Amino acid sequence: MITLHHLNNSRSQRILWMLEELGMDYRIQHHQRDPKSNLAPESLKRVHSLGKSPVIEDEGRVIAESGAIVDYLARKDSQRRLLVEEGGEGFLDWTFWMHYAEGSLMPPLVMRLVFEKVRTGPMPFFARPVAKGIADKTHKMFLGPLIASHLDFVEDHLARQDWFVDGRLTAADIQMSFPLEAVVASGMAGRRYPNIARYVQNYQQRPAYRRALEAGGEYAYAS
């Protein structure tokens, strides 16, 4: 049986969704973030030296990294329901979106979150104007335009189809779910990106997704 080491408010929620979509047998080992630092606990380092989630254990293997886990589960499924086979229609698109989610879209979103914490976090009063100025200028000159470019790209793609690849739910959608949930929950989608908002709303109504939320517990999309 697959063991998912699940951290609250983390990327492991999408692994739960995938396990539910595929109807795979699994158990959850829950790990909780430190309430002060919001960092993962030391217990995860006993599973994998990076101390990050998601991590799964299966048949003596320990597998980390969302993309690697999603790909592994898609291939483990005997019916290959969420996989686009090599050489098949849409395989290159599937490969692109599988890597794009964490390789291109997620980094500027994480940077935005970090600079927001710099902007609003506790600090001496005399340092606040400097920190706020640096954060605001970074967002205006670099992060804002970069994120807008990515979201325009995704919005245009979803204007033409309901799913990312092959007209059906695939592992690429599982992989793209986490950054797009953060976009919608943070209010960045707004009126400018209705197709992204629609896409997220649609898959969040899937029974497997709802079961995953119930199984995983606390999940703050934008954290």
Q: Is residue 117 part of a domain?
A: yes
Q: What CA–CA distance (Å, rounded) separates 196 from 159?
A: 8
Residues 10 and 78 in one domain: yes
Q: Is 63 helix (H, G, I), strand (E, B) or coil?
A: strand
The answer to whether residues 125 and 53 belong to one domain is: no
Measured CA to CA, the distance from residue 188 to residue 88 in angstroms comes to 35
How many percent of the chain have pLDDT more than 90? Answer: 72
Is residue 147 a part of any domain in this protein? yes
**Within a 10 A sphere around the Cβ of 205, how many other Cβ atoms?**
8
Total-model pTM:
0.89
Residues 177 and 96 in one domain: yes
CB hemisphere CA count around 142 (13 angstroms): 11
Claim to verify: residue 65 and residue 29 sit in the same structural domain: yes
What per-residue string of b and e applies to 3-37 under the rule 16 or more CB within 10 Å gives b? ebbbbbbbbbbbbbbbbbbbeeebebbebebeeee
Query: Are 137 and 199 within one domain?
Result: yes
Residue type, 172: A
| CATH number of 51's domain | 3.40.30.10
| pLDDT tens profile 200-216 | 999 999 999 999 999 99
Q: Residue 137: pLDDT band by 50, 70, 90 thresholds?
A: low
- DSSP structure class, residue 37: T
- Owning domain of residue 112: 91-206
User: Are 199 and 100 members of one domain?
Assistant: yes
Burial (CB < 10 A; 0-12, 13-18, 19+), residue 130, is exposed
Which of 94, 88, 58 shows the shortest CA–CA distance to 76?
58
Give me the number of domains the chain comprises.
Answer: 2
Query: For 1, which DSSP code?
Result: -
Model confidence pLDDT, tens digit, residues 56-106:
999 999 999 999 999 999 999 999 999 999 988 899 999 999 999 999 999
Written as six digits, the tokens of 23 are 């109807």
Specify whether 113 is located in the same domain as 193.
yes
Mean pLDDT of all residues in the chain?
A: 90
